[in-house]
Structure formats: C-alpha cells, structure tokens
Structure 1
C-alpha cells in the first residue's frame, strides 16, 4: 500500500492541507469534530510524519559531544570509535547536527573529570562516552541526568545509571570467551597469567569486568586447574613491563598462557619474543595495527575483536534517532565478538 500523504488525508477529510498540517503537528486551533476526523483517517492509514523533513526545517543546531581517551600510538584503538562517530556526524550534518570531540589521558582520572566539567559547561544535546573510570563516570552520569542531557555508553556500561542506550560488547562475556580459547590449549595443571595494564583495576570498568569473566569461566566449567595469577602493570612503558614480567615468569616456569584484558597485547608479545618464550599462549583484544604484526609472526595467538568503529557510529545514531527524530530506540545493542587468528586476519573487516 502506498504511503499516505497530508494531501491525501485532506482530500479524504474534505478539508485544506493547512488544516491537516495544523492537526497533525498541533500548530493551531481546529474544530473538535474536524480534528477527530483527520486523526481517525491518519491512524487508519498508519500515517507517519516526515521527521527528517522536520529536522531540516529546524533553525536550532543540535550539538552532540563525545568523550574518549586520546588516540595515541599506545592507545591507537580509540581512533576507530572516534572515526565511527565522526563519519556518522558527517552523514547527518545536513540535519543541523554537529559533534564536538573531547579527549582525556588514559589512566588519568583527573583529566577525565576536567573534561566532563568542560562538557557540562557547553550544555550539549547529547553525550557519547566510554565509562572507563567507574566512580568518576557515575558522578558524570548524575550530573547529565540533573541537566536533562541524554547519554549513550559505548565499549562498557554502568548498570546503576539511567543511560539512554549502550552500544558495544559484553566485557564480562569477553573474558569468558578468552578463557574458553585458552582452556583448549593448556594441560590441566598449567598456570595462567592475567595481565591488566591499569593503575587501579577496581576503578577501570571494562578491564575489571573482563578479568571477572575470565576467572568465572574456570570456576564454572574450565578444565584447567592451574594457578590464575593476576598482574597489574600501571604503565605501558616497556621497561616497567619487562621488570614486572621478569619477576613473575622467571620465578614461575609453569605459566603457559597469558591473557591481557586490553588492546596492548603487542607490548607483551614483544617481550616474549625478546626472551625467547615462544611456548606461551598469548591472547588479547582488538586487531589494531601493532597487534596484527605480532599475530602474523606468531607471538600473539588470538585476538578478540569488538567492532569499535561500529560502536562509535551506532552510538551517534542512537542519539540522533532519539534527540532529532524522537524515535524509540533499543536500549542495549550488544555487538558480537570476533575470534581472530593468523589464518583469518586477512579476511577480517575492520
């Protein structure tokens, strides 16, 4: 059935197009009998207003804000969701929507706080951010709620908040996926090293959740019964990584696998190659350029992909659909994991 137009409703109701427009968009007084007749015709024909055209007529520009860690050579992962956000913004700029990107130094919670204050000062129409620091992010969500600013999480989410939507993977389940892969490659009594590159793991939401998921797998169903050794490294500095790994691996020769909860598996792979520790399974997250290099030469065995570009792109779309089009949206959009090894990396779509 062809989509009904305002002109068609006017003809069926025997009124002018202007009268139908006033009723459908609540722009003026219309006799109750006429109004009811127009609404009944619209409902019977499943009339949907052209919201995109309405957005084009809007005189006020909506400004969305993103808040992400600064993409650096060490944290190149964050370029992908940023590109997704910016590409989505470019596609919608004709609808009077703009995006401003704010950045904070990874592992620097005070810098995160400073950026949230700057964001609140400009009173944006919506916010996209990754709640890396649990306490600070929760406070930020409370401030956004107070100002009536909708926000969308990506990469991880805070359950104790009234977020508009979440786009990303399940961090806890990601840890279980990694555990399942490692479990296939180990003997029953082999030990496993879990490496978190974070200053305060308990306050770094996504890494903490992955660690919990990893350990839960072995409590539930894992065949491996060896030690699960947690190692926190507060910096990605190569010297510090070497010192910390030396102290663990050279005193525990039974460690046969390493799981790192973030995207810097290449830092560990570089160490393992230099120390000729080629018999240790290494698994981490994200097919960034540095990780792919070590995946291809065999130092990294598996990477878990979580579609960061799509996270950014879809997060922007969630805000757009809610703020501009007033659409109902799916609250949680959980993206699948990709298990990537040397055999399939050339086929992987980034």
Structure 2
C-alpha cells in the first residue's frame, strides 16, 4: 500500500493542500469541522509526516553535549570516539544540530563533576557521555533525569539508570573473551596477573566490569587452575609500573600471563620487553598505534577491539533520531568485539 501524501488527504477532504498542511503541522486557524475531517482522514490512512524534511526546514537549533576523557598521547584511545562524534555532528549541521564537546582528566573525578555542572548549565537537548566514574555518573544521570534531558552512554553503561540508549561492547563479556584467549595458551598450573591502571577500581565502571568478566570465566569453565592475582596501579607512569611489576613478579615466580583491562597495555609490553620476559602471554584492549607497535613485535599476543569510532558516531545519531525525528530507539546496541593478533594487525593501522 502506497503512503498517503498531503495532496491525497486534501483531495479526499475537498480542501487545499495549504489547509491540510496547517492542520497537520498545527499552524494557523482552520474551522473545527474541517480540522476534524482532515485528522480523521490522516489517521484512517496511517499518515506519517516526513520528519526529516521537517527537520531540514526547521530554523530551530538543537545543541547536544558530549563528555569524554581528554584525548592525549597517553589516552589516545579517546580520540576515536571523538572522531565519530565530530563526523556525526558534521553530517547533522544541515539539520541545525550542533554538538558542544566537554572533556575531563581521565583519573580526576572532581574534573568530571566540574564538566557535568557546565553541561547542566548549558541545558542541551541531549548528552552523549562515557560513565567512567560510577558514583559521579549516577549523580549526573539523576540530574539529567530531573530536567528531562535524554542521554546515551558509550564505552559502558549504568544498568539501573534511565538512559535512552547505549552504544558499545559488553565489558563483562570482553573480559571473558580475554580469559578464553589466555586459557588456551597458559599451562594449567600457571598463575595469571590482572592489571588495572586505575586508582579506585570499584568506581571505574568499564575496568571493573572487564575484571569481573575475566575472573568469572575461570570460576565456571576455564581449564587454568593457577592463582589469579589482581593489582591496581593508580597511574600509568612508567616508573610506578616498573616498581609495581618488579614487586609482584618477584613475589610470584609462577606468573605466566598478564591481562591488562584497559588500552595502555603497551606500557606493560614495554616493561616486559625491557626485562626480556619474552615468554609471558599479554592480552589487553584496543588497537591504538602504541599497542599495534608491540603487537607487531610479539610483545602483545592479543588485543580486543571494540569499535570506538562507531560508538561516538552512532550515539550522536541516536540522539538526533530521538529528539528531532521522534523515532523509537533501540536501547542497547552492542557492537561486536574483534580479536586482533599480529597476523591481522595491518587492518587496524591508521
């Protein structure tokens, strides 16, 4: 059945196209009897307005906000979702949609709070953000809910919040994938070291989820029976990493594999290479250039990719579809994870 047009409704109602347009878009005065007749015909024929065309012709600006850790040489991973946000924003400029970008220091909860306060002051039409800090992110979502601003999560999600959508991988299962890879390559009695580069793991949502997933794999199906030793290193400074690893490896001579829950796995690879620990299995996240370098050299065995560009790009598009096009949104869009080794690393070089 062909879609009914405004022209068709006008013919059936015996009125002009302009009259139908005024009724359907609630512009101008139309006699009550005529208005009811037009609405009845539209409803009976399941008329759907062309919302994209309406958005194109609208002169009203919509401003979204994004909140991510600041992309730096140390945290270059965050440049990829930012690139996705930027490209989506460029596409949507024709609809008078703009994205104000906000950034916070990765390990600084107070800076995160400061940036959320700036966003609330802006009162955007929607927010895309990475809920890195659990406690502070919960408070932010409560404030967004109170004033009716929809929000989309990337990288990880707060399950019990009133979020519009989530775009990203499943952190818990990402940890299980890492565990499965290590389980194939490690002796049954070999110990495994889990490294979190975070100063408060319980409050860093995505790293905590990956750690829980990793450990759960060995509790219910893993072949490895060795110790699972978990450490937190509060910063990614090379000297501190060296100090912590020197200590733990001296105390635990049977460690045969290392799982790093974040994207700075290259920092661990650098340490292993400098100390000639060539037989240690090393698995981490994200095919950023520094990680690819060590993957190519064999110091990293596997990387788990999670499509960060698509996370940023799709998150902005979901806000647009909800706010301007009034589309029903798929709440959870889980992106596939990639298992990357040195046989396929060239696919991920920038």
TM-score bucket (shorter structure): over 0.9
1:1-350 to structure 2, matched below 5 A, reads 2-28=2-28, 30=30, 34-348=34-348
SS in 2 for 1:321: helix
Question: Offset of 1:251 from its aligned partner?
Answer: 2.4
Per-residue Cα deviation, 1:244-279 (whole angstroms, up to 9, x for no partner): 000011222211100000000100000000000011
Counterpart CA distance in 2 for 1:77 and 1:252 is 31
Question: Offset of 1:123 from its aligned partner?
Answer: 1.0
Counterpart CA distance in 2 for 1:322 and 1:290 is 37
SS in 2 for 1:80: helix
The answer to whether the Cα contact below 8 Å between 2:289 and 2:349 also exists between their aligned partners in 1 is: no
Per-residue Cα deviation, 1:211-236 (whole angstroms, up to 9, x for no partner): 00000000010010100000100010
Counterpart CA distance in 1 for 2:149 and 2:108 is 24
Counterpart CA distance in 2 for 1:233 and 1:55 is 49
SS in 1 for 2:316: helix
Q: Which moved more, 1:43-52 or 1:151-160?
A: 43-52
Please tell me the root mean square deviation across aligned C-alpha atoms, in Å.
1.6
Question: Offset of 1:124 from its aligned partner?
Answer: 1.0
Q: Which moved more, 1:55-64 or 1:77-86?
A: 55-64
The answer to whether the Cα contact below 8 Å between 2:67 and 2:104 also exists between their aligned partners in 1 is: yes
Question: Offset of 1:347 from its aligned partner?
Answer: 2.9
TM-score, normalized by length of structure 1?
0.96
* Structure 1 residues not aligned, in runs of 5+: none
Question: Offset of 1:204 from its aligned partner?
Answer: 0.3
Per-residue Cα deviation, 1:39-79 (whole angstroms, up to 9, x for no partner): 45434544321112211232321111100000000000000
Q: Which moved more, 1:9-18 or 1:246-255?
A: 9-18
